Chains A and B, each alone.
Chain A
């Protein structure tokens, strides 16, 4: 009984802390200071997506005639734009390229980051701190200053215009970030667990695969989701290092292949933008918490 009452007190205290000082605010006050600005900001943040989806199902006639039809709505929505995109352009191929490059690059960089993060946090070799700091510095080197020399390096390695070039180059963006994130996760795993395993005669590899990784799964998912999104979003390397149409990724292909002088291009452009973002939004919807913790974790460390 005492336990139960203690629990009730605890929940009451928690709800009290959660509500904070909201009881000091009146309803109209809250409406003006909270809901109005929040609603306005959300409206602006979401409008481009609404517009994107709306345009992609609007018949051409309604797209350019804004007087007969209300442009904010659609009558007789059509799938023509999406159909044209999927069957008359190489869009499915571009989508496949993006997915395959993003997946391969993410897997490679997670493999490299797990090893590096474990070594920096737990092996504590000579110079570990310095290497950790320099990996963080690598995160601050933007692709915009690297793409020209990288193009000649890729030429030199003979990888130009091959998806392999992107798969090997993207990890340079992802490794610094995921290593930093995983270092944070590995630090939270009690060292005693590893000591026990070491005394029982486990090798470092066994410790890593059997003890550390299973405990760091949330961190791995965060790193995976975030890296995958970054790859999907990457533009400048994909633009510079890939030259043939069938090897392009979605972001580059939309800008350089779908944009022609046609007035009627908007429907399929918006359909392309929508289909290109949809996989990421779905992935994000399932792993919001991991995504947020990846983003804030990397900044907080």
Chain B
């Protein structure tokens, strides 16, 4: 048999159903692949014993005729989802040793469906980053390298471990989270499929909070079909999250009809950035051609407030983060630094100084400042108003089109250290993904081509609220048309 770690979720599901494969075999192959992939630094905690236990339960379920889409499928869980009794630190030093007494709803749904946990995945600290360089556990390496080069590239962020594990064949799928692009941008950098559903589709219960009005769970897989299967598993109403929305979850896989005839696809004119690499423009143009060939109608649209999305995000997200991260005080969990002879406040200040990394500190400081007396109206309130204008832009556009097509990121993956000294250059990575996050819209990134250097590039599809089905359908058409068959050379095993 071929390498089991290269199977898609859909194919594994079918083999499991036919009895030609057991969850145990599939899990053992993945445990070995995880063990051999330390060079990627994708996993920060491995759970092989637990995985085998879960695999046997999955095999029993399948034997009993109770197989679901994710039954017996080995996955990785981003370190910001609480997993009972297992390492959960959002890759921060300040959560040292934290093993929650509860399970996040997203992971619980996967376990309820019989999926198998391989371990916890590396990420930017508290999901603050676009290159996975801010993790306390060190950077993740992109499985992809430029053609003929030994140089390491970033996997994107913040879901760097999620994409590297899936692109590097050490998970069939991975959970991820998006606050400003943390699913779509790393998916584009690694030739994987990432989908972020509508805000409110997946429960935030048990997700380590970064910016609560933006945080939304999603998935990383190698194919669009796999994304549909896994997203369906983690979606659905949850009374434990007050922003979870009580709507039925469609059969996402059924949306993959390949038929987009007559659909109207919007091309946002403001996404033609000055100075954008020619190959990104060319890929986008190719995507437009694919849409036309598939019988869709391509329509130019305007999203006039696009250029204000990033500055808006960098007020709203740090403001919410400064509030959410106030809970890390050395009292209830994680790290504590005592000062000899010091009082409670000294303990707080020393703990937070030692526990947070530079990027997290910077964002807490910005957030504290923009919320402080005398500045709240000028910064935070202003940003919330501009956020409304950005959401209105999309609402108007979706009066005319069914989906929007754009590049996912303004470049291919970059090398380590290239942008880590300049916060704003790093923030610009998310220029195409942040607007939809601010508006709470569903969006995906589909691998669509290679850069001149041989690194993956992605195209982004955005949909109307609650219309993940159209996002998936259009993604499927791009996947089919692109015929993206390139694979990273396996250098890490």
Mutual binders A and B: no
List chain A positions with a Cβ less than 8 A from chain B: none
List chain B positions with a Cβ less than 8 A from chain A: none
